[in-house]
Structure 1
Amino acid sequence: MYAITPPSNNPFTSQFRFMNIRHLGIYFPVDATFMSIIPRFDQLVSLEVAPYDSNHDFDYYAELQALLDRAPLLYSLIFRCWSRTSARITPIEYSNSSVRRLDVQNIDQCYNPEQCVALIRSSWALQCQVLCIAVENRLSILDLINAMTQLRLLNVLCQDDPWNTDEHNQSSSKEDELIGWLQHHVPATFAIVRNAEKSFNYDFKSCYSILIWIG
Structure 2
Amino acid sequence: MQAFTIHDGIIAPLDRANVDTDAIIPKQFLKSVRRTGFGPHLFDDWRYLDEGGLETEISSRRENPEFILNNEPYREASILLARENFGCGSSREHAVWALEDFGFRCVIAPSFADIFYNNCFKNGVLPVVLEEKEIEELFRAAGDERGLTARVDLVEQRIALPSGQSYTFDIDAYRRKNMLDGLDDIGLTLQHADDIRAFEARRAEEKPWLFRDL
Q: What TM-score, normalized to structure 2? A: 0.30
Structure with the largest fraction of helix: 2
Structure with the largest fraction of strand: 1
Q: Does 1 or 2 have the higher relative contact order (CA < 8 Å, sep 6+)?
A: 2
Q: What TM-score, normalized to structure 1? A: 0.30
